[in-house]
Amino acid sequence: MALVLIVAYLVFYLLVGQLTSWLFGDRIDKDNVVATAPSIWFALVLPIAVGALALVTVTARMGKLAAIFGPQPVRGSGWMWIGPALVLIAIIAHLAGTRWSSWTGAQISAMLVLGVCVGVAEELATRGLTVQILREAGHGERFVAVVSSLVFALMHMVNLISGMELSTVAATVVYTFGFGMCMYLAMRVTGTIWAAIVLHACTDPSTFLSTGGLDKAVGDSGGSGASIIAAFATVLLIVFGVVAVFFVRGKSQVAQPLSAGA
């Protein structure tokens, strides 16, 4: 069911993207979608915002909003703070290494809104719906963490459709698995999905602003000190995310929904 929901969301998101491209194609820079603020709004923000709204609506209809946005049913351990800490270090380093003079205020504002929409949509889809469905199915937390992070990573393979280079997509998939594990740990240790949403909402725009675009590999931020720290933190969070798989423990006591015949 989780996979069906994710695939349905991706198809819907891609269709909305095609529609907005058709309706507002004259406002979108096909060579570099982040070149202007209107291009960012119509090519990136609008599709993901519509997708986020659709996910919230579906989640509400499934009656899972309270469970997903409420307190986590499984407590986290102290070592889990390492995950969100590494993500936060990368965010700060990316911001410090950004050439702010290369961006206009309108572009930066659009990027920030994009980050919020991405944070809500992707966290709700993976750390929200996917995690909740897997828990309701009775799976242990290690399985929940790995599968939800793997689903999150594989979601980014749709970037191939937009023309992103295979090597960049491959690097992104590896990175997003580690990042997904860190977001799962952030949710566990803070007790709320909102921590993952906020960190995710800050990660994407800070990375895009630092690297200069969407088609750059994660960590490709130049040679400044801050950029080197960002790249190092990124490598560490990937490694930590993989290692953390072997230390995740616990099992949720989430009640399984009654079947129609029960």
pLDDT of residue 8: 93
Q: State mean pLDDT over 193-201.
A: 98
Alpha-helical runs (H) found in the chain: 2-23, 37-40, 46-61, 65-69, 82-96, 105-123, 131-136, 141-155, 166-190, 193-211, 225-244
Indicate the length of the chain as a whole number: 262
Share of the chain above pLDDT 90, in %: 79
221-256 pLDDT tens trace: 555 788 889 999 999 999 999 999 999 999 887 655
The residue that leads in pLDDT, 11 or 254, is 11
Instruction: Share the mean pLDDT of the chain.
Output: 91
pLDDT of residue 101: 92
Mark 12-31 as b/e (b = at least 16 C-beta within 10 Å): bbeebbeebbeeeeebbeee
Question: How many CB atoms neighbour CB 45 within 10 A?
Answer: 21
Q: State mean pLDDT over 133-155.
A: 96
pTM score: 0.91
pLDDT of residue 260: 39
Share of the chain above pLDDT 70, in %: 92
Q: Distance of CA 53 to CAs 9, 72, 244, 250, Å? A: 11, 23, 32, 32
pLDDT of residue 211: 85
154-164 pLDDT tens trace: 999 888 887 77
Backbone φ and ψ of 182, nearest 5°: -65, -35
pLDDT of residue 106: 97
Q: Given pLDDT bands bounded at 50, 70 and 90, which one contains residue 259?
A: very low
Among 77, 113, 90, 262, residue whose Cα is nearest residue 201: 113
pLDDT of residue 254: 65
pLDDT of residue 190: 97
pLDDT of residue 1: 82
